[in-house]
Amino acid sequence: MKLILSKSVIRELDNLPDTEIEKVYNHFQKLLSGASNLDIKKLRDSENYRLRIGNYRAIFSINQKQKTIEILDLLHRKDIYKKK
């Protein structure tokens, strides 16, 4: 599988403290390797999933045909579910 980060995720990573960035990248690596001990839930009324990373949440989609995981959004848990 290949990991794709959206521009908003890259911007958010630039603003995170180094300790949080390390956690995020570790979780992304586990996600790519298919680790079963991650806190992942399918979002209601959507084809996307949520990955819990401490106080942050990553919203991602999986494309089986292209063998990609696209990280669509990464925000603090208090902000991630607000309607845009």
Residue 67 has pLDDT above 90, yes or no: yes
Give domain status of residue 63, yes or no: yes
Residue 26, domain member (yes or no): yes
pTM over 0.85: yes
31 falls within a domain: yes
Q: Would you say residue 84 has pLDDT above 60? A: no
81 within a domain of the structure (yes/no): no
Distance between CA atoms of 14 and 66, rounded to whole angstroms?
28
28 lies in some domain: yes
pLDDT digits (tens, 9 = 90+) for 47-63: 999 999 999 999 999 99
- CATH number for 59: 3.30.2310.20
Contact 48, 72 (CB under 8 A): yes
Q: Taking the CA atoms of 26, 32, 37 and 42 in sequence, report the sign of the dihedral they define.
A: positive
Which range of residues forms the domain containing residue 35? 2-76
Structure tokens at 28: 């992304």
Over the stretch 35-51, which tens digit does the pLDDT of each residue have? 888 999 999 999 999 99
Contact 20, 56 (CB under 8 A): yes
Count of structural domains, the chain: 1
H or E segment and range at residue 56: strand 56-63
In this prediction, residue 35 carries a pLDDT of 85
